[in-house]
Structure 1
Amino acid sequence: MPRPSTPLLSRARIRERALAMVDAEGLTGLSMRKLAGDLGVQAPSLYSHYRTKDELLHDIADDIMSTVDVSDFAGTDWAAGVRTWARSYRAALAAHPNMVPVLATGPARRETSLARADAVHGGLVRAGWPPRYATMIGASTKYLVLGAAMSSFSRGFEDDVQVYVDRYPHLDQAHRLRDHADEIDADSFEMALNAFLDGLSAMRTQLTDR
């Protein structure tokens, strides 16, 4: 049989190409018309799979969240659950930083995102955290991860020593930060995560002693 003149589309292929476009050009660089051209089809062909750009982005966000590991919440060590979740969550966002604004809005009705939220909350409650505290731990972890994903502390400095010399004596090494940005940002995230978990452990002890 002859090959079809129009490339076959699937929702998975559409999401794959759309995510590549967002990774390369940002959210503003994605349009349904531009995506159709990239796929070699007419825009109406896309609308039979996705009615709107927002609907497409929500599904892409769900794909990204499917890489987030919440498996340790199946056990009884809630701190291990939070640690694994936070690290994998940060890694998922770091792989697709231009998608952070979409992911930051919350799970909405995204199935995978809701399943992850359910696993986190359920794991914390089973470990003995009151539901209200489990909710706040989930929210606080998200704030920590999103803050790390939205910007790099180290890359916010110039690599020109003349910017800092004389005027800012306590920043005399700030020009070196960009060269070590990945290491500093990763270590800083780990420091914040460890301090967060230490604080939660102390809080848990207080709640148990009441």
Structure 2
Amino acid sequence: MRKLAQELDVRAASLYSHYRTKEELLTDIAQEMAAGIDVSGFEAGDWRQGIRLWARSYFAALSAHPNMVPFIASGPGRRDAALRMADAVHGGLVGAGWPARLATMIGASTKYLVVGAALHSFSRGFDADIRVYRDRYPNLSQAHRLAEHAAEIDHDSFELALTAFLDGLSHLYETSGESAG
């Protein structure tokens, strides 16, 4: 709270007149973030488009606020906006013919994909010094270039994972005797 007050150029005591605890402040921020995540894709009954739109929107929100990822990843708790999002996702999946148990698992799996992608940059984890890789790691001869292309690689990697995930779910949906579709 002191750091935030310093950033806002106010006294920490001023913040406590609005928020009793840091947890309350983080909850409010998480509420705002969740309220902006788009779950409208489920309204038309197309679960694939619903997941795609939700996952991209969720990923964008978390990527814009990476310090909030651990707090949001801990679950919706009693945060109304997060519960509304979960309700829309679950309802959209069940409405499209997924059994409730699988709908829950798909929502969780999508969250794992999004949170994992937002939590870390794969590309920025490599050193820019070619000497690190040149002699000992011949299969990583271009790894030193990853950091300079990090945004593109991370974005494309997220899209690849999302597409593979959706393709796998489509196969499950088509072959599952449990689904109504």
Residue of 124, 128, 151 corresponding to 1:159: 128
The C-alpha deviation readout for 1:90-114, integer Å capped at 9, x for no partner, is: 0000101011111111110001111
Partner of 1:13: none
1:89 aligns with 2:53: no
Q: Which has the higher contact order (CA 8 A, sep 6+)?
A: 2
1:166 Cα offset (Å):
1.4
Structure index of larger Rg:
1
1:110 aligns with 2:79: yes
- When the two structures are aligned, how many residues end up with a matched partner? 178
Given the two structures, how large is their TM-score scaled by the length of structure 2? Answer: 0.93
Partner of 2:46: 77
Residue of 142, 160, 165 corresponding to 1:173: 142
Q: State whether residues 48 and 166 of structure 2, in contact with CA within 8 Å, keep that contact through their aligned partners in structure 1.
A: yes
Q: How does 1:1-210 map to 2 (within 5 A)?
A: 31=1, 33-36=2-5, 38=8, 40-41=10-11, 43=13, 45-208=14-177
Given the two structures, how large is their TM-score scaled by the length of structure 1? Answer: 0.80
**Structure 1: any 5+ residue segments left out of the alignment?**
1-30
Rounded Cα–Cα distance in structure 2 between residues aligned with 1:35 and 1:175: 36
> RMSD of the alignment, in Å?
1.6
Identity of aligned residues (%): 65
1:189 Cα offset (Å):
0.5
1:48 Cα offset (Å):
3.7
Structure 1: which 4+ aligned runs deviate by more than 6 Å? none
